[in-house]
Amino acid sequence: MENFEFHNPTRIIFGKGILVLVGREARSFGSRCLLVTGKRSVRESGTYDIVRNSLEAEGIDVIDLSGIQSNPILSPVHRGIDMVKEKAIDFVLALGGGSVMDTAKAVAAGSLMEGGDIWDVFEGKRQIEKALPIVCIPTIAASGSEMNGFMVITNEKTGYKLAAGSPHVYPKLSFLAPELTFSVPPDYTAYGGVDAICHLLEPYFNGPDPFTPVQDDMAEGLIRNIMKATEGCLASPSDYNARSTLMWAATLALNGLTRAGVGEHPFPVHLIEHAISAIYGVAHGAGLGALLPGWMRWRARSHGPEKICQFGTRCLNVIDKAETVGCADRSAFVFSQWLSSVGCPSCLADLGITKEGHGKIAENVSKQAAIWGIEDMYSNRVILDVLSFCQLRPQE
């Protein structure tokens, strides 16, 4: 096990009937709340009213920042920062998916920056030093943003989708209400599951070394649960068992637990997907699905097949335990079949991307890699090589 630090201070309230508690529990963060939401669904479902009423019943003034889109962009972050300053907001509450939560985090951090622009943080030019308290109420099981210090924003002017992280943007409190996800449509339910699986696989594939059997077992258990729960949610969208399993497993997938001790691990599949989302506007989970099987086949050749075989034998019932490239390819193939079975793309062609697009994707990834200081590991040539493995669905 590598040396590590683990510190996840987010408090979780999980279950049925918990949204009436929002006001009472959030009261300690202040009396003026910026309520960040997406386009329509939380208003149409009545969830918005429940949350707003709960806040107002505790004497908390609610100011809206609504209309946040998928693959969230920078301008609403700037608008939110201005609102915080104008209205003397005390805390930021996100009610929505990963895009809404990440926007809320960027607003919470950007509001307390002295000089400069929050985008500087995403470009790696400065660190976050403080942030307003953040409360999250996720409406989809996917990003894990409700219990981590990450956020991803697209700069619509430059066309880059970049991630940033800080201990200061861990939510103070998140309400995980699986019933809110009953209405998530099948495609996004699957994409959410795939996003969570990818959060687990990226640190998992760091190995075969260091020796991390505790982390491996945890990641494998979560992946098996996410796969099964995704299938359960698709079969029966209001199945509380399946929805609660998917929600808690997705939260645990990126709360630092399975990463602690595995050593340095950039998230290369996420980097490449962020380029694809920025250029083609695809849903994040769909982009990850399109990359993962090819990524595994490339990785088996470049870094050894052991960990990919382990994934296949322990999570996909692949029987070959030889730990060869053939076993890794078989694992990638079985996983691509599973992706297709839940309605998720499993190669770039599934997204309508052709080989002609690879150059532009690789260029975008290179810029991100430079910001993260991993341009040596993920050079243009390497990314083009990966993309060639991802272009078509793996064959048996």
User: By C-beta, is 28 or 241 nearer to a copy of itself?
Assistant: 241
In the complex, the smallest distance separating the C-beta of residue 181 from a copy of itself, rounded to whole angstroms, is: 13
Q: Per DSSP, what are the bridge partners of residue 151?
A: 164
* Residue 13 in contact with a copy of itself, rule: CB under 8 A: yes
Alpha carbon 227 to its chain centroid, in Å, reads 16
User: By C-beta, is 262 or 361 nearer to a copy of itself?
Assistant: 262
Quick one: which of 44, 56, 82, 217 contacts a copy of itself (CB under 8 A)? 217
User: By C-beta, is 161 or 243 nearer to a copy of itself?
Assistant: 243
SS3 318: coil
User: By C-beta, is 165 or 357 nearer to a copy of itself?
Assistant: 165
What ranges make up the beta strands (E) of 156-270?
160-165, 173-176
In the complex, the smallest distance separating the C-beta of residue 148 from a copy of itself, rounded to whole angstroms, is: 14
User: By C-beta, is 11 or 355 nearer to a copy of itself?
Assistant: 11
Pairing of strands 134-138, 32-37: unpaired
In the complex, the smallest distance separating the C-beta of residue 309 from a copy of itself, rounded to whole angstroms, is: 19
In the complex, the smallest distance separating the C-beta of residue 323 from a copy of itself, rounded to whole angstroms, is: 19
In the complex, the smallest distance separating the C-beta of residue 173 from a copy of itself, rounded to whole angstroms, is: 9
Give the binding-site size for a copy of itself (rule: CB under 8 A): 39
Burial class (CB in 10 A: 0-12, 13-18, 19+), 86: exposed
* Residue 10 in contact with a copy of itself, rule: CB under 8 A: yes
Site for a copy of itself in 224-283 (CB under 8 A): 224-225, 228, 241, 244-245, 248-249, 252, 257, 260-261
In the complex, the smallest distance separating the C-beta of residue 54 from a copy of itself, rounded to whole angstroms, is: 17
Given a contact cutoff of 8 angstroms between Cβ atoms, the answer to whether 292 and 394 are in contact is: no
User: By C-beta, is 198 or 250 nearer to a copy of itself?
Assistant: 250
CB under 8 A, 24+ apart: contacts of 365-369: 365/271, 365/272, 365/275, 367/160, 368/160, 368/162, 368/271, 368/274, 368/275, 369/266, 369/271
Pairing of strands 160-165, 150-155: antiparallel
Quick one: which of 9, 159, 185, 373 contacts a copy of itself (CB under 8 A)? 9
* Residue 12 in contact with a copy of itself, rule: CB under 8 A: yes
Burial class (CB in 10 A: 0-12, 13-18, 19+), 396: exposed
User: Going residue by residue from 132 to 161, which x/- string records binding to a copy of itself, judged by CB under 8 A?
Assistant: ------------------------------
* Residue 218 in contact with a copy of itself, rule: CB under 8 A: yes
Given a contact cutoff of 8 angstroms between Cβ atoms, the answer to whether 137 and 19 are in contact is: yes
Residue 68 carries which DSSP code? P
Segment interacting with a copy of itself (CB under 8 A) among 11-19, 50-58, 124-132, 284-292? 11-19
What ranges make up the beta strands (E) of 121-228?
134-138, 150-155, 160-165, 173-176
| Whole-angstrom distance, CA of residue 197 vs CA of residue 185 | 19
Given a contact cutoff of 8 angstroms between Cβ atoms, the answer to whether 91 and 25 are in contact is: no
The footprint of a copy of itself (CB under 8 A) covers 1-18, 178, 211, 213-214, 217-218, 220-222, 224-225, 228, 241, 244-245, 248-249, 252, 257, 260-261
